[in-house]
């Protein structure tokens, strides 16, 4: 249970940093969308990191890579909504 709460808190932080760093209009939504963006960014970062050889099986993505993953998701969102 504590792991889930920790993951949600880190997700909010990662999502907020990604929204702050990316230029232009950010995706709509409040704290829950920001949290989901951060968690999904971490999942994308973990997948890409394993593909590129940055992470081994069982390792989690780092904070900066999670922000990059959330940024990638925001770019995909911007292209999908245009």
Q: What is the pLDDT of residue 77?
A: 84
Alpha carbons 64 and 67: distance in angstroms, whole number: 5
Of all residues in the chain, the percent with pLDDT exceeding 90 is 0
Rounded distance between C-alpha atoms, residue 9 and residue 29, angstroms: 17
Mean pLDDT of all residues in the chain? 84
Distance CA 53, CA 38 (A): 22
Other C-beta atoms closer than 10 Å to the C-beta of 77 total 15
Domain of 30, in residue numbers: 2-81
> Taking the model in full, what pTM does it have?
0.82
Distance CA 53, CA 41 (A): 18
Of the candidate ranges 34-38, 61-65, 71-75, the one whose mean pLDDT is the lowest: 61-65
Closest CA to 76 of 20, 18, 32, 35: 18
Report how many domains make up the chain: 1
């Amino acid at each position: 249970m504590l792991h889930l709460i920790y993951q949600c808190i880190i997700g909010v932080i990662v999502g907020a940093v990604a929204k702050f760093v990316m230029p232009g209009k950010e995706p709509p939504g409040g704290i829950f969308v920001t949290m989901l963006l951060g968690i999904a960014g971490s999942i994308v970062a973990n997948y890409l990191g394993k593909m590129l050889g940055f992470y081994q099986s069982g390792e989690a993505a780092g904070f900066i890579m999670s922000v990059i993953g959330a940024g990638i998701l925001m770019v995909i969102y911007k292209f999908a909504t245009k």
